[in-house]
Amino acid sequence: MTIQLGQIAPDFEQDTTLGRIRFHEWLGDSWGVLFSHPKDFTPVCTTELGMVARLGPEWVKRNVKVIGLSVDPLESHHAWEKDIEETQGHGVDFPMIADPDRIVSTLYGMVHPLADASLTVRTVFVIDPNKKVRLSLTYPPSAGRNFDEVLRVIDSLQLTDAHKVTTPANWQSGDDVIIAPSVDDETAKGMFPAGWKTLKPYLRMVKQPIDR
């Protein structure tokens, strides 16, 4: 199964290191980040889980719940958590899904037979409060994921949802943004009374709106 942007994220019920969950119910009205690992006790993923735990306050600030997954059983996950805390200096305080039956992996298309028919690829899904998939990224096993980039995209998505703007290349929070093409000039006058800079009729730059 191929998960496409805009699709409702498949629901499931599965055991995790913090108890059994039904995914949609667990997400509630939060954003979600679901990220998978080929298997436990892998070096790159050990550093990633430590980083995601260390970024805990950043996820909370954005109303994001994070959850990991690999095809190994719960006992293996719990043993791996000890290594992660020892080597990365931060305990894993979010759930990791045990998926030995490949139920979740299959639902989300995370087993790629040409890569390895028995393990999950390293995928990230960002899911919004309406349970729609808003981003998916798949990384090679050798390259650690950049979770600052995941946070940056979530910032962009949340800004877009709130203010009908889009974000240019290499945008960082606080930089100028682009008025969405769906907003005509007349409507934009009410939304952005301080004005904007028109580079082309389809490229209108404006100061980033600030939530109050």
Active site residues: 45
Taking each helix axis from N to C end, the angle separating 74-88 and 43-54, rounded to the nearest 10 degrees, works out to 70
Unique residue bearing structure tokens 């990633």: 48
- Describe the strand order of the beta sheet including 197-200 as a list of residue ranges: 165-166, 177-179, 203-206, 197-200
Distance, CA of 202 to CA of 77 (rounded, Å): 49
24 within 8 A of 150, measured Cβ to Cβ: no
- The angle at the Cα of 30, spanning 154 to 11, to the nearest 5 degrees, equals 105
Strand partners, 68: 35, 96
The amino acid at residue 125 is F
Beta strand ranges found along the chain (DSSP E): 13-16, 19-22, 31-36, 64-70, 96-98, 122-127, 133-139, 165-166, 177-179, 197-200, 203-206
